[in-house]
Amino acid sequence: MSTHLVTGGCGFVGRNMVQRLFRDPNAHILFIDDLSVGTHPDTWLGQPLAKEIKNLRLYGTEERLIFLKADLRDVLRELNKDPEWFKKHYGIDIVRFDDIFHFAAIVGGRSKIDGDPMLVAQDLSIDAEMFLYVCRNKPGRLLYPSSSAAYPIDLQTESNTLQLKESDIDFSRMGEPDMTYGWSKLTGEFLAKIAASHYGVHVTCIRPFSGYGEDQDLSYPVPAIAARAARKENPFEVWGTGKQGRDFVHIDDVLDLTLLAMDKISDGRAINIGMGKLTSFLELIEVFSGFAGYTPTIKTLLDKPVGVHSRYCDMSWVEENLGWKAKISIEEGMRRVYEAALKKI
């Protein structure tokens, strides 16, 4: 029997991880989310509510899925004072976690990253509480999701575009990451290394590029463009020139590599998760409008925030050392998102 914690468990990556972990019949999964962005589990968990203990909701016939709506920082402060807080407060036997998947964060896409950077900087306090907790209580393993936003932005310009390698982040020679979001992720990576080297915590860091999937929030470009193509938007609006590009990777591949990396890496090293392929927003629109069977006129919205020009990764370290390659092609993954968008219109 194992007990895992998924923070931010009602967000995009968290929801998918909760469902993936639930496939193991021996796993109990506590997931915590303040629902500031996340969606309530009643809408996606697919398991009946079995019991409520105060504000804790236990789902499924075996009650292996346990949801707590709370600000993670409040819970961690309680646990940092008393590791037996769950047992004493709720009467349930959760004292130590096997795996912690720490997905709680203020993320929110370009409009939030550029539009409210000081809100996003709250990620520093969320991560600080988590790292204190893991160093004091030593869970089996911690997964810390950093981000491609941690990479130096001067390596992602129109005139200087390259495939970002893990070694492009070097704590002894720092480049400037992408806004407060990138700074908080970079700080998290540094804390991960300290947690491993000074406290002996098993930590794995990942730098996902642009993860996407069928159930992603419409504030993200892939599902938003899919939905607009399904409605046959014409002219088709794009932020900026649309020539800016990203490395889109399907959530199922993100989860596969995350779990593999946790088995192989314990020293806080960070790895890329992407396809190693740059796709521009204009190309995305072409793919989705192709599925919809029309050719729209493109309308560029040059006053919208676009972030760096090109962000994509070099996957050779992962391929050579972990023997892993993404399985879901852009065409297949985008087709799945399009089919899901069609059902919603």
Ligand X SMILES: NC(=O)c1ccc[n+]([C@@H]2O[C@H](COP(=O)([O-])OP(=O)(O)OC[C@H]3O[C@@H](n4cnc5c(N)ncnc54)[C@H](O)[C@@H]3O)[C@@H](O)[C@H]2O)c1
**Residue 72 touching ligand X (CB under 6 A):** yes
User: What CA–CA distance (Å, rounded) separates 298 from 321?
Assistant: 42
**Residue 258 touching ligand X (CB under 6 A):** no
Sole window of 59-67, 154-162, 203-211, 286-294 interacting with ligand X (rule: CB under 6 A): 203-211
Residue 60: other Cβ atoms inside 10 A: 16
Sole window of 158-166, 206-214, 291-299, 334-342 interacting with ligand X (rule: CB under 6 A): 206-214
Q: Which phi and psi (to 5°) does residue 15 adopt?
A: -55, -45
Sole window of 40-48, 70-78, 193-201, 286-294 interacting with ligand X (rule: CB under 6 A): 70-78
CB of 4 to ligand X, least distance (A): 16
**Residue 33 touching ligand X (CB under 6 A):** yes
Please pick, from the candidates 73, 77, 193, 243, the single residue that binds ligand X as defined by CB under 6 A.
Answer: 73
CB of 11 to ligand X, least distance (A): 2
CB of 318 to ligand X, least distance (A): 15
Interacting positions 133-192 with ligand X (CB under 6 A):
145, 147
**Residue 279 touching ligand X (CB under 6 A):** no
* # residues near ligand X by CB under 6 A: 27
Please pick, from the candidates 5, 100, 106, 328, the single residue that binds ligand X as defined by CB under 6 A.
Answer: 106
Dihedral (CA of 268, 266, 16, 212) sign: positive
Task: Let me know: does 55 contact 68? Beta carbons within 8 Å.
Answer: yes
Residue 115: other Cβ atoms inside 10 A: 12
SS3 assignment, position 99:
strand
Q: Which phi and psi (to 5°) does residue 73 adopt?
A: -60, -40
Q: Which of 276, 256, 266, 262 minimizes the C-alpha distance to 166?
A: 276
Residue 171: other Cβ atoms inside 10 A: 9
Please pick, from the candidates 211, 223, 242, 296, the single residue that binds ligand X as defined by CB under 6 A.
Answer: 211
**Residue 205 touching ligand X (CB under 6 A):** no
Q: Which phi and psi (to 5°) does residue 104 adopt?
A: -65, 125
Task: Let me know: does 17 contact 104? Beta carbons within 8 Å.
Answer: no
Cis peptide before 235 (omega within 30 of 0): yes
Site string for ligand X, 34-63 (x = CB under 6 A): xxxxx-------------------------
Q: In this complex, which beta carbon is closest to ligand X, that of residue 101 or of residue 338? A: 101
Q: Which phi and psi (to 5°) does residue 99 adopt?
A: -115, 140
Q: In this complex, which beta carbon is closest to ligand X, that of residue 125 or of residue 295? A: 125
Q: In this complex, which beta carbon is closest to ligand X, that of residue 98 or of residue 217? A: 217
Helix (H) or strand (E) holding 197: helix 179-199
- What is the binding site for ligand X (CB under 6 A)? 8, 10-14, 32-38, 71-73, 103-107, 126, 145, 147, 208, 210-211
